[in-house]
Amino acid sequence: MADEEIEIDTDDLKRRMDGAMGSLRQEFASLRTGRASASMVEPVMVDAYGTSTPINQVGTVNVPEPRMLTINVWDKSLVQKVEKAIMESGLGINPQTNGTIIMLPIPELNEERRRELTRVAAQYAEHARVAIRNVRRDGMDQLKKAKAAGMSEDDQKIWADEIQELTDEYIYAVDAALEHKQQEIMQV
C-alpha cells in the first residue's frame, strides 16, 4: 500500500527540460543568419546611467527590411554608448548613425562563415541535449530513492519508461530545431 503514495515529479522534469529548450531557442535566435532579427541585439548591454542596461531598454529595436536593423535611441546622450556597445559586442556589424537612429546593415554571409555558424548551432544543441540528459539523470536518482523508500519494481519500471520517453521526446525536439536552424543558416 505504501508504494502507491510514492510518485516521481514528472512535471518538474518537464519544466526543466522546457527550460533547456527555451535556452536553446534563445541561443539560436542570437545566431546571425544573414537576415535581420531584433533578437540579434538582445545580449548587447549598454553602459547607461552608470549601469549595464539591455539595448532594448534604451531604445526601440526595429527591422524595417530583411537586411537592416534600426535602433531608435530615446536619450540622445546615449547614442555613442549604444554604438560603442554594438561595435564591442562581437556581432560583426558596423553601426551607422543618423541623429538618434542607429542603422545596422546586416552583411551577406560567405560560405565559410555559414559553415562556422552551423558548427556553433550544433554546439548549442549539444549543450541542450546534455542539460536534458542531466534532468533525466535527476529523475532516475529520484527513482532510486523511491525504490529505497519501498516502491515496487513494476512501478519503478513504469516511471523509468515515462522518464525515458520524456527525454527522447525532448532530444528529438532539439535535433529537429538544430536541423531547421542549420537549413536556415545555409540558405543563400
For 74, which DSSP code? Answer: S
- The domain spanning residue 151 has which CATH number? 1.10.132.20
Residue 59 lies in a domain: yes
- Residue 1, pLDDT score: 39
End position of a domain, from candidates 105, 140, 160: 105
End position of a domain, from candidates 55, 90, 105: 105
Give 48-88 pLDDT, tens digit per residue.
888 888 888 899 999 888 888 899 999 899 889 999 888 88
Whether pLDDT at 111 is above 90: no
Q: Return the sign of the alpha-carbon dihedral for residues 38, 43, 44, 48.
A: positive
Amino acid identity of residue 187, one-letter, is Q
Query: Are 122 and 146 found together in one domain?
Result: yes
Query: Are 49 and 115 found together in one domain?
Result: no
Query: Are 51 and 117 found together in one domain?
Result: no
Query: Are 117 and 171 found together in one domain?
Result: yes
> Domains in the chain: how many in total?
2
- Residue 128, pLDDT score: 95
pTM value is 0.67
Q: What share of the chain is helix, strand, coil (3-state, %, to 5)?
A: 60, 15, 25
What average pLDDT score do residues 136-155 get?
A: 90
**Could you tell me the residue range of the domain that residue 16 belongs to?**
10-29+110-186
Residue 5 lies in a domain: no
Helix (H) or strand (E) holding 65: strand 59-65
Query: Are 116 and 180 found together in one domain?
Result: yes
156 vs 37, residue with greater confidence: 156
Percent share of the chain, pLDDT over 90:
34
Give 10-25 pLDDT, tens digit per residue.
899 999 999 999 989 8
